[in-house]
Structure 1
Amino acid sequence: MIGVRRWRSVAVLGWLGLIVCWIGANVSHRTFRDRRHAGRCLAPLLADYRGRQDVVVLALPRGGVPVAYEVALALGAGLDVLLVRKLGVPGQEELAMGAIASGGAMVVNDRLVRELQIPPEVVEQVVTREQTELVRRAAAYRAGRGQLDVSGRVVVVVDDGIATGASLRAALDALVPLQPKRVVVAVPVAPAGTMTTIDVLADEVVCASTPSSFGSVGGSYDDFTQVSDDEVRRLLAVARP
């Protein structure tokens, strides 16, 4: 990937992007009302890419799709999904031991696997299960349409936030053979430490909020209801060119 790598956040860019969010926001200690609202907050930080014909927005489903929809709408860009699945620790599925993406790209936290003494055959079972889910989601979301061509284009990868970054790293690995011209990671919220590790994997990283006290992605939202497959299909159908 070519281009100058920049990490833009509120701390670097200034508060203008978040002023848009706070106007009309609920009276709350949280930053975003819901994912659509988070996307509208994130979009002003990507204004450099508005109206360009070589830009495409890729969402990490399901949670990243409503955020990415608002970003794509603001930029006038096409929207598609970049399919990735977390590899949850058996019995502690919310804890990621890695992630897998379309095309076979996989990230595994070997240290965590060793510490928890997870047998290789158990890891393989989880990988197989999530590969099956990737195939199901590809069929469900695209309804027979092919993935948008990203070769030679600026790809804006959007999620609803980053915690460990495992899913995002797998997604970025999956993009490499597709030969995008430039990769921009854009998220509403993430811990600063994780953003530093992601920064080396993309040409540019944009984050609307990096709270000093980060508990979870959902902690920055008033409404963090799980996104349904139906909503993903609806937003993709409306936004895709």
Structure 2
Amino acid sequence: MFKNRIDAGSMLAAKLIRYKDNSGIVLAVPRGGVPVAYVVAKELGFPLELVLTKKIGHPSNKEYAIGAASLTDYFVSSPHEVTTAYVAQELIAVRHRLLAMQQKFMGHGKPTSLTGKTVIVVDDGMATGNTLLSTVQLIKKEKPENIIIAVPVASASAVQKLMNEGVEVITLGIPPGFNSVGAYYQNFNEVTDDEVIFYLDANK
């Protein structure tokens, strides 16, 4: 059980310290992953940015990720299940939200190139792993040196799913009978926009 996201970030950073001398970057999954990622980035001396990707949900269940999109690219894992028109419609909606997020949290700054870097993607937990899996597919297109998914807590199935794709997963706990990420935090309050801005500014 973690006290809060900062506490979880401190413990997670200790397991990532071996990457300290790499040319790396920490990408936080907004919003819950931002406080965790802030501590990791601070300990490693890495820049901190947001994961500017969002999932593309299945037509019959928007919570089920069939892919993900960034502002410049997208990935669909099961193209036979959806029409081209549906994907095009979802891309417009997803990119509208991503652009608003970029402007709110990054202003006119452009995301750092990930080519040749150690990319550490941090969230406050991982339940299904579907969204992160799709995000990884997009990150791979930028040809980083390596990709590490770092989360304080995760389900066994999610960890296996990412490892099957050749992605290193670092976690502090894989509890049996995993229920929800929030169940492993004493304080799991929603992270506000102001907090996201605070942590991003504090890392500069």
User: What TM-score do the two structures reach when normalised by structure 2?
Assistant: 0.86
Match of 1:68 in 2: 37
- Match of 1:178, SS state, is coil
Contact 1:67 1:158 in 2 (8 A): yes
Aligned residues, how many? 203
Contact 1:34 1:222 in 2 (8 A): yes
1:19-53 CA-partner distances (Å, limit 9, x unpaired): xxxxxxxxxxxx11221221112111112112x25
The alignment status of 1:156 with 2:120, answered yes or no, reads yes
Runs (5+) with no aligned partner, structure 1: 1-30
Match of 1:139 in 2: 103
CA RMSD, 1 decimal: 2.5
1:193-228 CA-partner distances (Å, limit 9, x unpaired): 210110133442101110001011111112222222
| 1:64-143 paired onto structure 2 within 5 Å | 64-88=33-57, 95-102=63-70, 103-107=72-76, 125-143=89-107
Contact 1:105 1:171 in 2 (8 A): no
Match of 2:168 in 1: 204
Instruction: Call closer, same or farther: CA 1:224–1:90 in 2, change over 3 Å.
Output: farther
User: What TM-score do the two structures reach when normalised by structure 1?
Assistant: 0.74
- Deviation of 1:186 (Å): 0.6
Contact 2:25 2:117 in 1 (8 A): yes
- Match of 1:231, SS state, is helix
Query: What letter corresponds to residue 16 of structure 2 in structure 1?
Result: L
Q: Distance in 2 between matches of 1:190 and 1:182?
A: 20
Contact 1:78 1:239 in 2 (8 A): yes
Match of 1:24 in 2: none
The alignment status of 1:237 with 2:188, answered yes or no, reads no
1:93-146 CA-partner distances (Å, limit 9, x unpaired): 5x32434231322345679xx6xxx98866654443222111111111111111
Contact 1:172 1:201 in 2 (8 A): no
Larger CA Rg, structure 1 vs 2 = 1
- Deviation of 1:162 (Å): 1.0
Q: Distance in 2 between matches of 1:109 and 1:177?
A: 18
Query: What letter corresponds to residue 133 of structure 2 in structure 1?
Result: R
Name which of 3, 26, 32 aligns with 1:57. 26
Q: Distance in 1 between matches of 2:84 and 2:185?
A: 36
